[in-house]
Structure 1
Amino acid sequence: MAQVQEEVQLLGVGGSPFVRRIQIALKLKGVHYTYIEENLRNKSDLLLKFNPIHKKVPVFFHNGKPLAESLVILEYIDETWENYPIFPQQPYEKALARFWSKFIDDKCLPAISKAAWTVNKEEREKGIEESLQALQFLENELKHKFFGGVNINIVDIAASYLAFWLPLVEEAIGLKFLSSGKFPKLYKWSQEFINHPIVKANLPPKEGILGFFKSRYAALTTASK
């Protein structure tokens, strides 16, 4: 397949882990793209036109054709540009990679969100329990330096929230999920991942994200009083 690098655009928000997934994948593959910053408080006509269902970022454009939802975009990118495959080549391993990527989005991230941002004490404790269970599944699945083995793959990219954003959530709310004591393999993976040169160069500044999480938690605790 020809590696076409014509018109590639990404509509996103700088602090979004889902947008950063796309940026990391494009950089790993060496694909040049134009980034367009979106304002989610005043959503642009571009966003509303090309992602009318979810009205969220990222939205990816290749030669004028739009795609939404980060995992869908990542698979399209991998099938379009062959350099640095981010999906396994064998059907079974590829299916497993899809499964674990979906597991992160459908089970892991919602559980952490419930644990971090729920006012109700019982629901929050349930979220903490679900988060630890989900992280344990990932701990058991991790067999090598990365989920992709020696190289970063789709599961690593999908799990980028756990490596970079989760520690900032932990600092903001005073809870610890991903510790070296509880999850030694996953913790070591997180350090390897965020210090990979391409990943490191494509992560947002920590200060802004941490400030956002602290403000969100302060508002949450004030509302619960």
Structure 2
Amino acid sequence: MKLVAVSAGLSTPSSTRLLADRLAESARGELAAHDQEVETEVIELRELAVAVANNLVTGFPSPQLATAIDAVTGAHGLIAVTPVFTASYSGLFKSFFDLIDPDALTGKPVLVAATGGTARHSLVLEHALRPLFAYLHAAVVPTAVYAASEDWGSGGDEYTEGLPARIRRAGGELAALMAVRAVAQEPGEDDITALERQLSDLRFD
């Protein structure tokens, strides 16, 4: 299987890229623990910024941008991570997904995540990111992950989970959905056998 993470971070190093890497590793680890091989790829949108702008103006993607779009639409699972700009996703993030065919992500398992300087922006996951991918008919996992500056290195407390725990839970949910969709797309199985395998694969910790 192929897992693609899209990072819209602009700086180097980037907390957005770091979160994308950790989420991808979490999902990959869950799949590997259940004997599922997965190839991971991270797409850095800042490297495609000029190509994205040119595509919006001309209607034609550069070869590098076309390869990135093909990777996203052809993946078995997608992780989409953006920094918070003006209480929403970044313009570069939105512009890239504006170039995706509206039907290309139908049913695709997607994990949404965001980074920001303060926890006050965490609702961006629900009022901006989740509706965007619902419009694209993606299957967004229940747990979305927001990482504020103070979350890095935090273990949480008795009332809240720390960032590592949220990453593990979200990665497990994405892995489970990817496994289910892969089984559903396998040829030659009757509906009962496919359903039994799907229920078995859903038992990710």
Length-normalised TM-score, structure 1: 0.27
Structure with a larger share of its residues in strand: 2
Q: Which has the higher contact order (CA 8 A, sep 6+)?
A: 2
Length-normalised TM-score, structure 2: 0.29
Task: Determine which structure has more spread, i.e. the larger CA radius of gyration.
Answer: 1
